[in-house]
Structure 1
């Protein structure tokens, strides 16, 4: 990617990221964009089945009834004697239903059959321990932090996504999915996976009602997070900080970019706030730098998040931008995974509606309603036949163009983060920021945006005045108390 072809603002941003995160160079054809849940599931199964040496999957959870996925892993292990499978999930989410069937009990079957060829790790946040852990119900304890990365690696390829591994993410929950054909990037994420795995519990089988047992391996470099949290964080900082910071020596800004076949630069950025002291996380500062580019020169941008509770810093920067067109896509209440759910989670869709309504008001107050638009995504109604939910998250930036019809993104962010206060402070997140002058990839990114837009409608102050958008005082109170955990 010859820097001369880049807008000065983009060139400056790449220089900032060079000082912040590792970087990788890709040629044409090394990134594919998947568009739908069923395509994601089909490719996932195909890549697992054809893997020869390794499969590593990091996710929030595996659906407790995903027997087909487990069978695909089992068949791959039987067909490829050299294959090893590594799974990393969150300990709180993965064991929530125990002793009833859970993610952990499902995966324990693979451990029982294949022994050390299958390694299952469960990460537990150091934020939840002692009396707090004992007293907080399992339905609520996830509010203190989760393993939220979505990394799906197979030999020398990896899918980065926001999707978990369960039926709805394979069928009727819209997300994003980027396949990287790069041994360097895949190896990088395997190192990151191994580092977090070394700070996690190991899963084994037993004869208990739950069918599994969690233990802290003697080979782990840190003490248990629930017993010696400060020491745990100290060791985690020593392990993770070198991985997420730049590994390249000081070199000229465009080293390696003189190759005309190098069309794309990728920067992995991660947010590991619960594990780092001092906090050397790279996602938050990287996104801050990226959004600063939007202040001038009429870049067009799109931002999407299934849950509309954008971090206040990001919200301010989007509102302060001066775009040719700025567009936000979020889930309609009927496309929110918490729609009509029981308990406190049922407050979440109207809480996000309130936040969206306030955002539209702020756009109007700044006299930018002709430039910045909020769109709601809805494809049917959750829990009704044909109803989908929306879980996509990401950012796209288009350089200034004289003809808006020619605008195609040259930058995108793809990964696990919801870009919220929770993502900043509580969960483990990993994303990549992609810069490209590859016209084929830019066209694919443009098509991805159009695919996400097809089930949207624009919202304005008038639409938020309708009766079905009224929000009660209880929702406002819950949002004030729980906003940092959303």
Structure 2
């Protein structure tokens, strides 16, 4: 299980009780939870609890069980701003933001946290991919690697790094190098297509990517039991290729795609490969096509802190691809709870006049920080200032519209994208779901994970359309005049100034 934090209310207590009961009744169960250090150790003023203190009794109870709880610490917060400071402001430097959960061979991908408001009255998106072992293994290994590289909650109630791992706030450079190698190994391990029929040894792969400024002893790998070992002692470990690894693995997915086939494409493929696959699917010209009804899934990661930018690079390539006139894509819907598009994304959208873009975000009143105390009360207005900036910059092209979501007392947190093709049905051909807000913060500071899901099944595409229609049905288009003059929460001068100052942190 992976989230920014775990709440401390009644519903969260119920969830922990269920997990605790599973550990009592099933000796074989493996439970791994990864949360953000900054948010997960922040004490809630209402009950004087934090995610860490909330989980501590379960760790103390289940000694010597297959239970691991980690708190990932951003390496670029420094000693003072990070581990030894208190309060929510320390979270502005970057957090663990991946929201994904694995239950046996089932994967739940979302943008929501494990908190009561998300369970009850906060709009978000949730996709369940059932009976898909390759994807489940991918996320299981990802969560295990992140936990290895985190402060682990011990039976004594203390947070400690594993002995072979450097503390991120004390040795950030060494920590980043090790994180980078772990994630490269993850990509290698989960390839679904390998260019050779021969057995590949782990050291053959790492010999090409090991930084020159590191010693062999500095490089740690995860073996099959999840134990870190020095790089130079891995000679005996081999990664076996099998005949089915040269084919795309197929699994049924009843909840997501009905009778459609689900094909997992690992993110180690190049952007060009994925774009070519999109073209083939939408033109229905693949040589191995067996008829419609297939769903393709591409998982991506974003961890700019270690220069790991899979998600950003793929999304940018998609926008560039759509800007080419010979391609038949003419419409994009992009949703985020916090609208502060990265500059490069805004530029591509403004330049591509033929791509009609609908941006969906929270109204100030549906923002989770609306009328919060102290500095937080300015956050909805700062994001409103970013909306105004987008509309002003697009005043000539006029291919971008902004819609604000609002529904009673509910708050809004849904994020993702839907892509549409010309001369086809009114259904999207692809969606993106995950944790990214497509902002400076998401792509430069936080850890993010996404699934790019596309299909040649009209039935499945129609389900995507139903979802996007539902979200947009509770929104209203806003204009420059509405934001500056007519709204009941008018944008203030202070909010505009703060939005400029805090741009890279939003």
Q: Which TM class, normalised by the smaller chain length?
A: 0.7 to 0.9
Superposed displacement of residue 95, structure 1: 0.6
2:347 alignment partner, SS class: helix
**Are the aligned partners of 1:244 and 1:281 in contact in 2 as well (CA < 8 Å)?**
no
Q: CA deviation at 1:484?
A: 0.9
One of 459, 467, 480 as aligned partner of 1:440: 459
Cα distance in 2 for residues equivalent to 1:462 and 1:128: 40
Alpha-carbon contact 1:123-1:197 (below 8 Å) kept: yes
**CA 1:257–1:328 in structure 2 vs 1: closer, same or farther (change >3 Å)?**
farther
The answer to whether residue 19 in structure 2 is matched with residue 58 in structure 1 is no
- Stretches of structure 1 that go unaligned for 5 or more consecutive residues are 1-56, 207-211, 381-386
Retained in 2: the 8 A contact 1:269–1:282? yes
- Check whether the contact 1:130–1:226 (CA below 8 A) recurs between aligned residues: yes
Equivalent of residue 403 in structure 2, options 375, 387, 391:
375
Q: CA deviation at 1:194?
A: 1.2
1:466 aligns with 2:486: yes
RCO (CA 8 Å, sep 6+): is it higher in 1 or 2?
1
2:473 pairs, out of 440, 454, 479, with 454
TM-score (norm 1): 0.79
RMSD: 2.3
CA distance in 2 between partners of 1:112 and 1:327 (Å): 49
Instruction: Tell me, yes or no, if structure 1 residue 428 matches structure 2 residue 374.
Output: no
Runs of 4 or more above 3 Å deviation? 131-137, 250-262, 322-325, 467-470
Deviations 1:257-313 (A, max 9, x none): 545477122111111112x2xx23201101101112332345221001011111111
Aligned to 1:142, the other structure's residue is in SS state: helix
Correspondent of 2:162 among 199, 217, 221: 217
With structure 2 as the length reference, what TM-score do the two structures score? Answer: 0.76
Answering whether residue 101 of structure 2 is matched by residue 79 of structure 1, we say no
Counterpart residue number, 1:280: 308
Change (3 A) 1:197 1:72: same
CA distance in 1, matches of 2:501, 2:481: 28
Distance, in Å, in 2 between the alignment partners of 1:190 and 1:424 is 23
**Aligned-residue offset at 1:58:** 0.5
Q: Relative to structure 2, which stretch is displaced further, 306-315 or 107-116?
A: 107-116
Q: CA deviation at 1:424?
A: 1.1
Pairing of 1:71-470 with structure 2 (within 5 A)? 71-97=17-43, 100-115=48-63, 116-133=65-82, 137-181=86-130, 182-206=132-156, 212-218=157-163, 221-244=164-187, 247=191, 248-250=193-195, 258-260=289-291, 263-274=294-305, 276=306, 279-295=307-323, 296=325, 297-323=328-354, 325-366=356-397, 368=398, 371-380=399-408, 387-401=409-423, 406-464=425-483, 465-466=485-486, 468-470=488-490
1:226-284 residue CA offsets vs partner (Å, 9 max, x unmatched): 1111111111111112324783334897799545477122111111112x2xx232011
Query: Partner residue of 1:51?
Result: none
* In 2, Cα distance between equivalents of 1:141 and 1:200: 17
SS for the counterpart of 1:468 is coil
Distance 1:259 1:111, change over 3 A: farther
**What do the CA deviations read for 1:163-182 (whole angstroms, capped 9, x no partner)?**
00000110111111111121
Other-structure match for 1:46: none
Deviation, 1:324, is 6.6
Question: Which of residues 496, 501, 505 is equivalent to 1:476?
Answer: 496
Distance in 2 of aligned mates of 1:261 and 1:117: 42
Greater alpha carbon shift after TM alignment, 423-432 vs 80-89: 80-89
Q: CA deviation at 1:356?
A: 0.8
1: CA distance, partners of 2:479 / 2:493: 22
- Whether 2:46 is the aligned partner of 1:67: answer no
- Cα deviations by residue, 1:82-130 (Å, 9 ceiling, x for unpaired): 2121110011101111893111111112112222232111100111222
Q: Secondary structure at the match of 2:388?
A: helix
1:50-77 Cα deviation digits (max 9, x unpaired) = xxxxxxx000001022111111212222
Q: Judging changes above 3 Å, is the alpha-carbon distance between structure 1 residues 448 and 60 closer, same or farther for their aligned structure 2 residues?
A: same
- Partners of 2:293 and 2:455 within 8 A in 1: no
Corresponding residue SS for 2:394: helix
Unpaired segments ≥5 residues, structure 2: 196-245, 247-272, 278-285
**Secondary structure of the corresponding residue to residue 28 of structure 2:** coil
State how far apart, in whole Å, the 2-side matches of 1:451 and 1:183 are: 30
Partner secondary structure for residue 480 of structure 2? coil
Report the Cα offset of residue 355 of structure 1: 1.2
1:355-385 deviation per Cα after TM superposition (whole angstroms, max 9, x unaligned):
112222233322x2xx5321110011xxxxx
| Cα pair distance change 1:261/1:85, threshold 3 Å | farther
1:471 shift after superposition: 2.5
